[in-house]
Structure 1
Amino acid sequence: MKAGIFKPLKSKPFRSLFGAQLFSDLGNWLDLIALQVIVAYHWGLDETAIASVIIVLGLPWVIIGPFASVFVDRLPKKAVMIVCLLLRVVFVAGLFFAPNLYILLLFVFLKGTVSALYDPARQSAIRMIVPDSLLPEAVTLSQLSVNMMKIAGPALGGGIIALFGPKSPFLFEAAGFLIAVIFLLFLPNLKKLEKSEEIEPAGKPEKRKYWFDFSEGIKHIAHTPLLKISIILSSAAFFIIFLYDGLFVFIAQHLGFSEGNFGLLISAVGFGSVAGSLLLGQWTKWNRKPIHLMASSALFSGTLIIAVGLGGVGVFNLPPLAWIIGACLLGLLGAGESVPYGFVLQSETPKHMMGRVSAAAMSLQTFSMLIAPAAGALLARWLGVPSVMIGAGMATILLGSFMLLAIMKGGALNQPPKEKQIQA
């Protein structure tokens, strides 16, 4: 028990998979910083160009990922991940040599497409190689990688740009993807596990219809209450977060943060996320009632968001340190939503359809993330930035309250995921 969150790393296959994820996640954040610096500083383009990059980056997850994931479930997962990483190296080279915004957007889209295929394959691999008893720790480690690279990636990217120029992070990103490939080469062949988990539709032992497989994943979400409600909660939470995320720099000005110490506020959120992931990985009793934790985290984080909004209109006049501590708590509570969601996604999905289900869920979340910033900007112009924060906090509290009411009704939401495992 002392190993806590790191117990899954005793497994050699998971070590290989996790090592690949670390370098893949790092590459993603190096990429994001480099793209924005090139567009805004190197080419001197406006906010519309930055917005187009963000939209094109997320578009493949919405329009391609869910449909292509059917093939991901049919193909060998190890081969899919390796091919996707190698293609990402090629497309990163395209980003490095892109002469203008249009060529850049093309390679951003292509890279986003293979990323949207890589992640379902990675989720499937986790489900195959990690025993059910270690799923909470494995999912938490995976989320920890994401949260850590959100902090390390931008900091490292900024340093690389300062030393070697605006396009240099792409070279480091490509190297990271190649290192990830090396890690995956040590991953055992998953073909036997995949075959043992496959279920052929009755009457069609050999050829499975594409739309049958596609709809099977959607139907599974619709007919699994715990999974369905966690996806809805997570997607709504993403929408609310990204409603105010782009406005955070403006609310920071209202709170008295300068250009120099604004970074401390963002770093505090990231630090809280990492601390929350470590805490949940060490204490895994929450895995029996993950929705309870998600709902409770939403209630408390909504209260903090309202406090930030009220600070923006002068109701609360606190020193910067107090707001930094609040930002840290906000990040910690964010882990209280993201980690249980990842566990529900894994534990409530049969291994043979992990790719389809995870891609469908990611599609809904990404769609929320894409439309929210525009809605937030419009609301900010109409109502003001602090009002958007207060509204977002109230919406978060309502979301958590709705979830608690659904829990109080009992039924499937109160059953521990491991007791409702769908046997593949």
Structure 2
Amino acid sequence: MNIGLVKPLTFRAYRSLFSAQLFSDLGNWLDFVALQVIVAYQWGLDETAIAALIFVLGVPWVIIGPFASVFVDRCNKKFVMIVCLLLRIILVGGLFIAPNLPILLILVFLKGTVAAIYDPARQSMIRFTIPEEYLPQAVTLSQLSNNTMKILGPALGGGIIAVFGAKSPFLFEGVGFFLAVTLLLKLPNIKEHVLNTDSINKESIKKNDYWKELIEGIKHIVYTPKLQTAVVLSSIGFFLIFLYDGLLVFIAQNLGFSQGNFGLLISAVGLGSVIGSILLGNWTGWKSKPLQIMSVAFLLSGFFIIVMGLGDMGVVTLPLIGWCLGAFILGLMGSGESVPYSYLLQSETPKHMMGRVSAVATAFQTISMLIAPAIGSLFAKLIGASIILLAAGGATWLMGVIVLLFIVKRINHSKKIKGEFNN
């Protein structure tokens, strides 16, 4: 791995923040596996219970995160993160002893609420732990943590469940959160630093003008062209992915994957996303054109989703290794979308607004993720999963083309104006 990617880790504060994120991300995926195993296997409940679980996992990011983020921006970020982790330890203990689905869902909602408060604080802290020139590598490492734990978490969770039982991952998760707390204790206190270096309306804070501050975060996205484009692209991208994500197990069957080797397809996507993050972390030339990188990634992703749809219809036939290679490329392109997005979110947002802006942006993405599966499932019954794939792939490809054409047009227009000015 090139020194460029790991350079942020040479700064003690960022190293503590990143290490804590590793434990937090791992805990989230251990949690996700354990919850589904308990509901489906241990309690023998049906698809409706799983759907309710996934819905409750996502809702706090929409209805709690944006509104709580105003207080996150006002507060000491280190204190917020530590308190959130301590609460998560208590809540995973509750999940370990939860006797039935209603209580489990309540605890999941509360844990999701704490996570929706923790993440904006973590996003805010990134800018205070490294010099600005290392921001691309820092956000890439953050994305790399998330992508890597998507692979390791389920595998490790499955192994822990096999050895220690269905609820045992919660205990390991609690230990991980405790270790994250010990790492965050090494972070500097940045509250006074924020108030002294950023242009915050202190009078607004004194007057407790909550709604004004929340609207400022929303307006910042609306009136910052690059960030607005990135949030819109990312939200639409999530919607299109989750249109077919829940159908993937059925699509894989038609592509020739059995119950035993279906995991290879999912692992290929995860591996691609990790490799993509490493590549983007080592080559940071993309930071001058993040929207172009996102657009190219959408364009290529759309093409491979269309091919998968044609495979589901029987029009295209590939060996399993070919479909795994396609899944790997999809994961690779996923990093081409998520890493530049994360960079724009950080670089186009003032430090003192980071909590609000990141929470609002995440809420838009989560709304897409919550409504898309139901729409995809409904239309799959009406027109078939393969048509859903073709539609999602076509829309993804078209989105990439439109944004690229717009960027080229804007560049040519700027050159024309510059030429006229020089003449």
Tell me the TM-score normalized by structure 1: 0.95
Q: Which residue of 2 aligns with 1:245?
A: 245
CA contact (8 A) 1:407 1:414 kept: no
Q: How do 1:309-320 and structure 2 match up within 5 A? A: 309-320=309-320
* Count of residue pairs the alignment pairs up: 415
Deviations 1:127-152 (A, max 9, x none): 22222100000000000000000000
Give the secondary structure class of the aligned counterpart of 1:189.
Answer: coil
CA distance in 1, matches of 2:94, 2:41: 19
Quick one: structure 1 residues 204 and 331, their matched pair in 2 at CA, closer, same or farther if it must change by over 3 Å?
closer
Whichever residue aligns with residue 317 of structure 1, its letter is: T
Q: How do 1:145-294 and structure 2 match up within 5 A? A: 145-201=145-201, 204=204, 206-294=206-294
Give the secondary structure class of the aligned counterpart of 1:339.
Answer: helix
- How many percent of aligned residue pairs carry the same amino acid? 63
Q: Which residue of 2 aligns with 1:362?
A: 362
CA distance in 2, matches of 1:282, 1:380: 40
Q: How do 1:23-422 and structure 2 match up within 5 A? A: 23-201=23-201, 204=204, 206-410=206-410
TM-fit CA distance, 1:251 = 0.7
Gapped regions of structure 2 (runs ≥ 5): 416-423
Deviations 1:246-287 (A, max 9, x none): 111111000000000000000000000000000000001000
Q: Which residue of 2 aligns with 1:419?
A: none
Give the secondary structure class of the aligned counterpart of 2:261.
Answer: helix
Name whichever of 57-66 and 1-10 sits farther off. 1-10
CA distance in 2, matches of 1:52, 1:205: 38
TM-fit CA distance, 1:206 = 3.2
CA contact (8 A) 1:85 1:178 kept: yes
Deviations 1:300-336 (A, max 9, x none): 0000000001011111111101111111011000000
Whichever residue aligns with residue 327 of structure 2, its letter is: A
Whichever residue aligns with residue 312 of structure 1, its letter is: D
TM-fit CA distance, 1:188 = 1.5
Deviations 1:25-80 (A, max 9, x none): 00000000000000000000000000000000100000010011000000000000
Give the secondary structure class of the aligned counterpart of 2:86.
Answer: helix
Give runs of ≥4 in structure 1 deviating > 6 Å. Answer: none
CA distance in 2, matches of 1:409, 1:345: 24
TM-fit CA distance, 1:3 = 0.7
Quick one: structure 1 residues 203 and 320, their matched pair in 2 at CA, closer, same or farther if it must change by over 3 Å?
closer
CA distance in 2, matches of 1:297, 1:165: 41
Whichever residue aligns with residue 318 of structure 2, its letter is: L
Q: Which residue of 1 aligns with 2:420?
A: none
CA distance in 2, matches of 1:181, 1:203: 33
Give the secondary structure class of the aligned counterpart of 1:409.
Answer: helix
TM-fit CA distance, 1:405 = 2.7
CA distance in 2, matches of 1:282, 1:333: 16
TM-fit CA distance, 1:192 = 3.2
Quick one: structure 1 residues 92 and 16, their matched pair in 2 at CA, closer, same or farther if it must change by over 3 Å?
same
Query: What root-mean-square deviation, in Å, do the aligned CA atoms of Structure 1 and Structure 2 show?
Result: 1.7
CA contact (8 A) 2:139 2:342 kept: yes
Q: Which residue of 2 aligns with 1:422?
A: none
TM-fit CA distance, 1:205 = 7.3
CA distance in 2, matches of 1:73, 1:191: 9
Gapped regions of structure 1 (runs ≥ 5): 416-424
Whichever residue aligns with residue 315 of structure 1, its letter is: V
Whichever residue aligns with residue 405 of structure 1, its letter is: L
Give the secondary structure class of the aligned counterpart of 2:363.
Answer: helix
